[in-house]
Amino acid sequence: MNQLEVIKQNVIKCTKCDLCKTRTNSVPGKGNFQSDVIFVGEAPGRNEDKNGEPFVGAAGKKLSAALEGAGISREEVYITNVVKCRPPNNRVPNTKERDTCKKYLKEEISIIKPKIICVLGNTAFNSILGGSEITKFRGKLVRKDSQLYFLTIHPAATIYNQELISTLNEDIVKLFDLIRELKNNKTVSIDIEYSS
Ligand code: URA
Ligand code: SF4
C-alpha cells in the first residue's frame, strides 16, 4: 500500500473527532499523487458525504469547470479538504475539528510535495494560514516556510453569484500559469510572505 493509501484508510476509519458520529462516509483526498498542486476546500457537503469523494456536488462542478477552462482535467490534480467528514447541516467546522483533522492534510502535503497549495475559500485560508477575508487576498501568491500557497475563493461561492465565476476561472488560469513558470525555473513574484 502506498503512503497516500495508508492515509486514506486511516481517514476512512477515523474517530478522532465527533464528526465521525454523524457522517455517512469519511471523505479522503483524491487525485494524482504526483500533482504539482493540491486544492484544499473546507469540508465535505451532502454529496461528498454520500459518495466518499471530495468536490462531487455543485461546488465540485464549478471547480471542474474552472480547471477545464485552464486546460486541466481533475485527474491531473489532487483535491482534498481541511476536514474530512461532513459537519451536520454543512455548518463551518469548528476549531477543534479543524485542528484534529489537519494532521491528515499535513501528511498529504508532505507526501505529494506540491509546488503550490491552492487554498479555496475562507475556512481553508483561516485553517492553513490564519488568514481571513479571502476576497481581499484572492489571486495572490503566498510563501510561508518555503511552501507556496495560492489563494482563491471557494467554488461554492460562485453557485449563486455569476460574477464570481469569472473571478474563480481567472484565478485558476493564473495558478497554472504560475506552476508553468515554476516548472520552467522562472522566478515568480511572491505577493505575501508569512512568517511562522
Ligand atoms: N465544499 C468543500 O469545501 N469541499 C467539498 O469537498 C465539497 C464542497
Ligand atoms: Fe477524523 Fe477528520 Fe473525520 Fe474528525 S473529521 S473523524 S478528525 S477524519
Distance (Å, rounded) from C-alpha 143 to C-alpha 166?
25
Q: How many domains does the chain have?
A: 1
- Asked whether 43 lines ligand 2 (CB < 6 A), one says no
Structural domain range at position 76: 3-194
Residue 131, pLDDT score: 97
Q: What is the pLDDT of residues 126-140, one digit of tens each?
A: 999 999 999 999 999
The CATH number of the domain where 182 resides is what?
3.40.470.10
Neighbours of 39 (CB within 10 A): 29
**What distance in angstroms lies between residue 150's CA and the mean position of ligand 2's atoms?**
25
Ligand lying closest to the C-alpha of residue 105: 2
**Distance from C-alpha of 130 to C-alpha of 99, rounded to nearest angstrom:** 12
The residues facing 151 across adjacent strands are 119
The owner of cell 476512512 is: 12
* CA dist., res. 100 & res. 78, Å (int): 21
Nearest ligand to the C-alpha atom of residue 85 = 2
Measured from the CB, is residue 79 less than 6 Å from ligand 2? no
Share of the chain above pLDDT 70, in %: 100
Tell which atom from ligand 1 comes closest to the C-alpha of 155. 1
Residues 6+ apart with CB under 8 A from 131: 125, 137, 151
How far apart are the CA of 142 and the centre of ligand 2, in A? Answer: 27
Mutational test site, ligand 1, from 19, 39, 46, 48, max ligand atoms within 8 Å of CB: 48
Pocket residue to mutate for ligand 1, from 11, 25, 42, most atoms within 8 A of Cβ: 42
| pLDDT range class, residue 1, cuts 50, 70, 90 | confident
Residues in the chain: 196
Q: Whose CA is nearest to atom 4 of ligand 2?
A: 17
Q: Phi/psi of residue 20, each to 5°?
A: -65, -25
**pLDDT at 13 (0 to 100):** 98
Average pLDDT over residues 11-23: 98
- pTM for this one? 0.98
At residue 195, the pLDDT reads: 82
